Structure 1
């Protein structure tokens, strides 16, 4: 029978053997290994590895996907880390080469698969614009976002997304020949955000409100102005008191402007806006601005059988009756006037209530 001393010696010997086995066990490529940083500078760290015959080396490119900074801003001397072994010691380099980026890439793929299965968003950072879309990264894993999935509208300049953080949904993830292909989309998140924003906006809209907006698109009959995430119609007749041939004559896409809500239909989701409603009505105090007997300049804007309309200011056209065009008999206004011509006229009468100004050309002829 063994005495207690022999049993204790055997246990000690087993413990020593286990320890030796630990250090004799070869470190494999791809193995996740622990260690402590024993030397650190801006570009690389030396790591004392647990269970390895050599120390490890971790360069900044393998420590973080953002390799433009300083490694001392990412790691600390004495810090314990885990990293993947990507190269064994060689004759000219006695270190195991380590990578935290590759270790995180495995974690990234697990996260991206989970996000795909659970229909959740992940935040990625755009690194570059390429043909057909942009390349982003998530914990070092490449993620491709097609141009058609970046916005709810078409995108012309993909370079504006460089270095941006985007919330995306994973729409495709595929293993092929040892690599993982990940395709993501931002459209679904934007659509969900828009729906929520529009619902909130419709609850707050009231007729008479004045809101900041920007022109989204132009048509022949008006402009669509986005206010609080909702597109409202600014009809051409509501742009100005003056004559507007088509909206593109006075507005362009992207213009920022204040508009007033003049009508809304919550059920049909129709919003009518006005710029004109925020401008002073040019007929206000018309008798003061154009008193009877005064002589002013005007522009000939259109003809009728009974006379010519002369624009005194945007929104105010006065009528020079055919009998007031000349001392000579006139059969048609075009005999004595030209559209676009600037002429002197005399105010015969003006009325704010009736929105009328009567003019005479012959009254100032010598």
Structure 2
């Protein structure tokens, strides 16, 4: 046999060693050439070539194809279609991304079955939720983003968050995730620890987490407690956002714990100095103060002269002239000047006067409005005292129930002025 002759057996062996490939097969491809948008690869063991488009190279975005492939590299690929008709010179379309994706789906499915969470970055905010890159595209519905309503989801753009897998369907490329479930689980664990170690009366450090119209939610370390608007300050607060801001560090006192309803009631006000402390120095008798009318009743006006400190301006101390009710000349929210008539620190009571700061009209009788508004004796018994002697009320005007049970801290004598004294004189 000549030196140039070919051994038939060797040729047969070579032909037999050439593998045939089909769509769906996993093969190894050697990079033969690199273009801007694709790789040309030789499919090992087949003698044929194929192409890998840029978008099929990776599950991650690629800016420069040369960063992920070099001539001579060998990579695992999957055949996704045949693009040539000639059997010998036919070419195939291959993908590296789909192999990676399949591997990712397998890993995600295993984590889902095991109840494990995943961590992934938020790549975009779309209508109805967030899109995340978990190696494959995942979607987080807006209702599963947080454990409270979030008005603007854009704040999550670019953040890397922990998610629970809610639904996974690899064949449909469907991956539904929830960040809310992770937060709720974390808070449940933290709540258990918090409820075990705190009790009413404790003073804790916290951070303002959220503000609403009715109060502020304060983070105590993974668990939120509510500071009702009435517990923010001794001063009147219309809206929590007027005095607090999200992220602000605050001290709070635990008012109440309700483990069954997962509620913690807190107070910022109770950690502040008591407003009545040193009241004799802050509001001494004869001092002139500027205050705000907070409440109007039939018997007078309650005026706040210091944050958390209210005093009573009895109806007889409002004006030199007769008035039917305080509402005739005053309104809630009105700013007024008052003179301090009396101070009772232990009872948290201030007696105030508006008329003491004004001159009486010339020629006006020096007569208190208390005389004009004193309770009248009843004429049902002809003006005699038989009713009193027989166990009745003796014709005396009864005290309205709301006055008897008033929670202002003022006595009936304070409320009715000199009326009780005068009524006692009439009975003699």
Q: How does the TM-score come out when normalised to structure 1?
A: 0.75
Greater fraction of residues in strand: 1
CA distance in 1, matches of 2:56, 2:252: 56
- Give 1:215's aligned residue: 210
What does residue range 1-366 of structure 1 map to in structure 2 within 5 Å?
A: 17-23=12-18, 25-37=19-31, 39=33, 44-75=38-69, 78-88=72-82, 90=84, 96-129=92-125, 132-140=128-136, 142-154=137-149, 157=152, 161-174=156-169, 179-186=171-178, 187-203=180-196, 205=198, 207-215=202-210, 219=214, 223-244=216-237, 256=248, 258-265=250-257, 268=260, 270-366=263-359
Partner SS state of residue 293, structure 1:
coil
Q: CA deviation at 1:330?
A: 4.6
Q: Deviations over 1:273-309 (max 9, x none)?
A: 1121243333233233333333232222323344322
Which of these two proteins has the greater Rg computed from alpha carbons? Answer: 2
CA distance in 1, matches of 2:208, 2:273: 20
Closer, same or farther: CA 116–337 of 1 in aligned 2, 3 Å: closer
Q: Deviations over 1:310-353 (max 9, x none)?
A: 22233122222333323344553334434333222223344544
Q: CA deviation at 1:365?
A: 1.5
Q: Deviations over 1:71-124 (max 9, x none)?
A: 344445654321223344649x98644311111222233234333433333445
Mapped contact 1:214–1:257 kept (Cα < 8 A): no
How many residues are aligned here? 346
Q: Using CA pairs under 8 Å that are at least 6 residues apart, name the structure with larger relative contact order, 1 or 2.
A: 1
CA distance in 2, matches of 1:329, 1:341: 20
Closer, same or farther: CA 22–66 of 1 in aligned 2, 3 Å: same
Q: CA deviation at 1:258?
A: 1.7
Closer, same or farther: CA 208–147 of 1 in aligned 2, 3 Å: closer
Q: How does the TM-score come out when normalised to structure 2?
A: 0.66
Q: Unpaired segments of 5 or more residues in structure 1? A: 1-11
Closer, same or farther: CA 258–322 of 1 in aligned 2, 3 Å: same
CA distance in 1, matches of 2:106, 2:9: 39
Mapped contact 1:218–1:253 kept (Cα < 8 A): no
> Which 10-residue stretch deviates more, 95-104 or 266-275?
266-275
Q: Unpaired segments of 5 or more residues in structure 2? A: 1-6, 360-428
CA distance in 2, matches of 1:112, 1:316: 62
Q: Deviations over 1:190-227 (max 9, x none)?
A: 332222232343355461112213236555xx555443
Partner SS state of residue 320, structure 1:
strand
Closer, same or farther: CA 96–255 of 1 in aligned 2, 3 Å: same
Q: CA deviation at 1:34?
A: 1.6
